[in-house]
Amino acid sequence: MNNTKPQTLAAALAQAWTEGLLLPSGGWLAALNSSEDAYLTQDLLAHRLAWADVTTGQVRCWKSGGPSRSAELSHAPLAPTGVRMGKADFSDLQLRAPGVEAEIALRLGEEVSPARAASLGYEEASRLIEAYTVSAELVCSRWLEAGEAPPLLRQADCLSHGALALGDWIPWSATALPDWSRLDCWIQRNQEAPLRGQGGHPLQDPAWLLPGWLRHLSRKGMTVPAGTVVTTGAWLSWAELSPGDSVRLGFEGLGEIRLSL
Quick one: which of 169, 112, 160, 165 has its CA closest to 139?
Answer: 160
Residue 236 within any structural domain of the chain: yes
**What is the secondary structure of 128-182 as a DSSP string?**
TEEEEEEEEEEE--SBTTGGGS-HHHHHHTGGGEEEEEE---EE--TTS---GGG
Residue 84 within any structural domain of the chain: yes
- pTM here is 0.96
Residue 230 within any structural domain of the chain: yes
Please list, in sequence order, all residues whose beta carbon lies within 8 angstroms of the beta carbon of residue 123, skipping any fewer than 6 positions away: none
Is the pLDDT confidence value at 43 over 90? yes
Q: How many domains does the chain have?
A: 1
Residues spanned by the domain of 228: 54-260
Is the pLDDT confidence value at 131 over 50? yes
Residue 177 within any structural domain of the chain: yes
Residue 2's pLDDT band (cuts 50, 70, 90): very low
pLDDT one-digit tens code per residue, 152-196: 999 999 999 999 999 999 999 988 999 999 999 999 999 999 999
At 90, phi and psi to the nearest 5? Answer: -110, 20
Residue 181 within any structural domain of the chain: yes
Model pLDDT, residue 27: 85
Is the pLDDT confidence value at 3 over 70? no
Q: Residues 98-126: what's their mean pLDDT?
A: 97
Residue 137 within any structural domain of the chain: yes
Q: How far is CA 154 from CA 2, 9, 74, 157, in A?
A: 21, 12, 11, 5
Residue 67 within any structural domain of the chain: yes
CATH of the domain at 147: 3.90.850.10
Residue 6 within any structural domain of the chain: no
Model pLDDT, residue 1: 40
> What b/e string do you get for 58-90 counting C-beta neighbours within 10 Å, with b at 16 or more?
bbbbbbbbbeeeeeebbbbbbbbebbbeeebeb
Model pLDDT, residue 168: 97
Model pLDDT, residue 188: 98
